[in-house]
Structure 1
Amino acid sequence: MRLTHVGGPTLLVEVAGRRLLTDPTFDPPGRAYAFGWGTGSTKTAGPALAPADVLPVDAVLLSHDHHADNLDDAGRALLAEVPVVVTTASGARRLGDGARGLRDWQTTVLEAPGLPPLEVTATPARHGPPLSRRLVGDVVGFAVREAGADGGVLWISGDTVAFPGLRRVAERLRVDVAVLHLGGVRFPVTGPVRYSMTGREAAAVCRATGARVVVPVHHEGWSHFRQGREAAERDLAAAPEDVRRRFRWLDRGVPTDV
């Protein structure tokens, strides 16, 4: 499996002869975006690669469509160039154009001539504290594996806090590579409440899933992140050595085999 971190949550995944792209964000830096309910953010870093550098793409795995740090204007334009978009059920209704909407634990299959089918299963995600779904909207993670294969899955957490749904991921799936959205997001209007994982929570998720490799993403490039790589690594310094060594911080724009 080869991973290329484009920036933010955007990751090019090359697996089983496919090219998958997560949460496309390709706008340049400098613009402020409103997320609703008095929250928002400014993009502080642009992508390491342009859309032309990642195309062609076989499918986009979109954790949610309604926040610009996961799908900005340039990323939305890229969707027209992609044959399959997999996202939340509510997001698929908004996007239209044949987007495949999944609820937790539903599976869709990506098929291509001469290649093994790839199963994409939606996994639970909660983008905030208990009872926040009506405010922050639906979010989903993804587990990807070759149909019929015995190996573990690639699991992409999506924007989520650590909550009981992630324990169900650990119980139901054998995770090989975990792509975790970090950043410890907070907003002034909601005080200390967090909307994504910290390094400490990521270490706990690593232990729970037993992932061979953990790839942190979505911890830089936007003003609403409260914990970048340096702060997350301070959290990880308190974790056992066998957990720390599983974390792979990817250089942006550099294809990396995992």
Structure 2
Amino acid sequence: MTDVGFTHIGGPTVLIEFGGWRLLTDPTFDPPGRTYDFGWGTSSRKLIGPAIAAADLPAIDAILLTHDHHGDNLDTAGRALLPGAGSVLTTASGARRLGGGARGLRPGHTHRLHAPGKPTLTVTATPARHGPPLSQPITGHVIGFALTWPGQTHGPLWITGDTVHHRAVRRFAQAHRPGTVLLHLGAVRFPLTGPLRYTMSTRDALSLLDGLAPTTVLPVHYEGWQHFTENRDGIATTLDHTPAGTRHPFSWLIPGHQQTIGV
């Protein structure tokens, strides 16, 4: 078992530390107040700033960027961190846009991170769809990440990325049986597209996890922006009304504070 430190910085941004590695997911460090254009007439305003300033971060070995084209996953201050990271892993299309040595991965593709004195870290891109069927040409490519390394006892650490619940995501979860899940929620909606959702609700997530046995589920990407329609209170209410046998071990990360979990 490996003790892994998780520090939730805000939105989807989490600092993950173990075995000498420091990984950062979807860096967002802009202050609140700005409205970001997401394309096709959609936009959202950032409501809450980061719990830790970019200047206070330790040196980052790798940035795991689920997608580069939405401001709630990569903003201006987050983009400024990319050149200083040891590696940047993202979608194939995102790597072409970013340049600068970013490595693009397609779902199912792997990349190994090596460093003296640290366990070899295998990063596998996992499927994600950031909206309803046939929306990918509009919403763009997104991936999640499954992390494995020697000494894990509970299965991969899975970062779902911004995705709805769909067949390919379910197939991955059933095949790989993740032990710890960094779960992007928020039930994102926009006035322009009415009831259509672009990330999972809690009920979607419970359906995705049905039949699995993760040891820890860590919700992220549910507060701090206008386009989130299900915040922590909404998530907790749904969990409270879910039969005990299907709730799964959800655990809340306190922004700015590290929580250590055995993985």
TM-score, normalised by the number of residues in structure 2: 0.95
Aligned with 1:212 (options 196, 210, 215): 215
**What's 1:36 paired with?**
39
Q: Which digits, 9 at most, give the CA deviation of each residue in 1:58-102, with x for residues without a partner?
A: 000000000000000000001111010000000000011111100
1:245 Cα deviation after fit: 5.4
1:191 maps to what in 2? Answer: 194
Aligned to 1:111: 114
Match for residue 237 of structure 2 among 229, 234, 238: 234
Give the distance between the partners of 2:13 and 2:245, measured in 1 at CA. 27
Q: 1:237 to 1:191 in 2, by over 3 A?
A: same
1:218-255 CA-to-partner distances (Å, cap 9, x unmatched) read 00000111110111112222323244350011110000
| Closer/same/farther in 2, CA of residues 244 and 158 from structure 1, 3 Å limit | same
CA–CA distance in structure 2, aligned partners of residues 240 and 141 of structure 1: 28
Identity %: 55
Instruction: Tell me the residue number matched to 2:176.
Output: 173
Q: Give the AA of the match of 1:76.
A: R
**Residue type of the partner of 2:77?**
A
Q: Residue by residue, what CA displacement relative to the aligned partner does 1:118-171 show, whole Å, maximum 9, x if unpaired?
A: 000000000000000000000000000105856411000000011111211222
In 1, distance between residues paired with 2:151 and 2:100? 30
SS at match of 2:112: strand
Query: Is the Cα contact below 8 Å between 2:214 and 2:248 reproduced in 1?
Result: no
Query: In the TM superposition, what are the counterparts of 1:1-258 in structure 2 within 5 Å?
Result: 1-147=4-150, 151-244=154-247, 246-258=249-261
Of 152-161 and 244-253, the range deviating more from structure 2? 244-253
Which stretches in structure 1 are left out of the alignment for 5+ residues? none
Give the conservation status (yes or no) of the 8 Å contact 1:167–1:208.
no
TM-score normalised to structure 1 length:
0.96
Relative to structure 1, is the Cα distance of residues 36 and 54 closer, same or farther in structure 2, using a 3 angstrom cutoff?
A: same
Distance in 1 (CA, whole Å) between partners of 2:225 and 2:110 is: 31
CA contact (8 A) 2:154 2:180 kept: no
Matches of 1:56 and 1:231, distance apart in 2 = 35
| Aligned residues: CA RMSD | 1.3
Unaligned runs of 5+ in 2: none
Q: Residues 208 and 54 (structure 1 numbering): CA distance in 2 closer, same or farther, change over 3 Å? A: farther
Whole-Å Cα distance in 2 between the matches of residues 234 and 249 of structure 1? 14
Query: Which moves more between the two structures, 237-246 or 115-124?
Result: 237-246
Cα contact 2:217–2:248 (8 A) shared by 1: no
The worse-fitting range, judged by mean Cα deviation, of 23-32 and 160-169 is 160-169
SS at match of 2:30: coil
Q: State which drifts further: 143-152 or 15-24.
A: 143-152
Q: How many angstroms apart in 2 are the aligned matches of 1:85 and 1:18?
A: 14
CA distance in 1, matches of 2:31, 2:211: 37
2:215 aligned partner, one-letter code: R
- Mean Cα deviation higher: 197-206 or 8-17: 197-206
Contact residue 119 and residue 147 of structure 1 kept, 8 A? no
